[in-house]
Chain A
Amino acid sequence: MTIDIATYLLYLAISIGLTIWVAHTLHKNGRVFLVDVFHGNEALADSVNHLLVVGFYLINLGYVSLALKLGYTVATAKEGIEALSSKVGMVLVVLGAMHFFNLYVFSRMRRRATTRFQPPPVAPDAFTAVREA
């Protein structure tokens, strides 16, 4: 096996491993949030959680696959490690950005769900009798 091929294979193994780990973390810890957002409707929370994770996998694996090509040949092990490092570094940054985006989506959903039960923003100026229409 040439150093080129070894670099590619290592890149795929590390990137896919990282994607699975982040998706798993998101899936496990996002559920609590979603159950709260959907007022204890666990079936709906699980469904949305699953759909979010599928989207997460698609985007990340898509990026990993598109970014595979090096564009130059790697002759030595040193060059191989350098190429691997910069590729995996980009994958980590993309994963991080996606992860924070997901957190933003979760917190936004949660905020939306909780404002529904919040009291008026101001106190009334006066009180008056109300007759039915």
Chain B
Amino acid sequence: MTSLTVLYDPDCGLCRRVHAWLGEQGQLVQLNLIPIKTDEARHRFPHLDHEVTSKDLTVISDQGEVYFGPKAWLMVLWALVGYREWSYRLAAPELLPTVRRVVSLISQHRYQIGRVSVFRGE
């Protein structure tokens, strides 16, 4: 696996903030960010259900492995130099249920969180 494509929601401030933050991080695996439901996303992944990608973060490897929601967040951490160790820690069976809850909470409320000025990705 040499690169990961991250399908993110460009309409949410939090997602844009994270997008900017990812650009500043050292990457062990190359991250390509593509906005969801765009022509580019549909062209790259013709058989993917693109409606689902608007519900939560989706990450797809260059081998076609699809990671959705909490797993997608863990894969993004795994790709970063400074956070790979954390991806293993958070993926441990003791912590994964909590990660699932927190991630789904953030994803559901991402537009509200995005309105808080600190997270606005302008």
Q: Which A residues lie at the B interface, using CB under 8 A?
A: 111, 115-116, 118, 120-122, 124-131, 133
Q: B65 contacts which chain A residues (CB < 8 A)?
A: 124, 126-127
Could you list 6 examples of A-B contacts with CB < 8 Å? A122-B71, A122-B75, A125-B67, A128-B45, A128-B48, A131-B44
Q: Is the CB of B84 within 8 A of A128?
A: no
In the complex with contacts A115-B85, A125-B68, A127-B65, A120-B75 CB distance below 8 A: yes
B23 in the interface (beta carbon within 8 A): no
A77–B88 alpha-carbon span in the complex (Å): 59
Q: Mark B49-72, 1 if CB is under 8 A from A, else 0.
A: 000000000001111111110010
Q: Is the CB of B66 within 8 A of A131?
A: no
B1 in the interface (beta carbon within 8 A): yes
Point out the residue from A116, A120, A127, A133 that lies within 8 Å of B44, measured CB to CB: A133
Q: Which B residues lie at the A interface, using CB under 8 A?
A: 1, 28, 32, 40, 43-48, 60-68, 71, 74-75, 78, 84-85, 87-88, 90-91
Q: Is the CB of B28 within 8 A of A122?
A: no
A133–B88 alpha-carbon span in the complex (Å): 30
A33–B9 alpha-carbon span in the complex (Å): 45
Interface of A is mostly: loop
Closest 4 CB pairs of A and B: A124-B65, A121-B91, A126-B66, A121-B87
Q: Is the CB of B64 within 8 A of A129?
A: yes
Q: B45 contacts which chain A residues (CB < 8 A)?
A: 128-131
Point out the residue from A118, A122, A130 that lies within 8 Å of B84, measured CB to CB: A118
Q: A129 contacts which chain B residues (CB < 8 A)?
A: 45-47, 64
Q: Is the CB of B62 within 8 A of A130?
A: yes
Minimum CB–CB distance for A55 against chain B, Å: 25
Q: Is the CB of A121 within 8 A of B43?
A: no
Q: Is the CB of B60 within 8 A of A120?
A: no
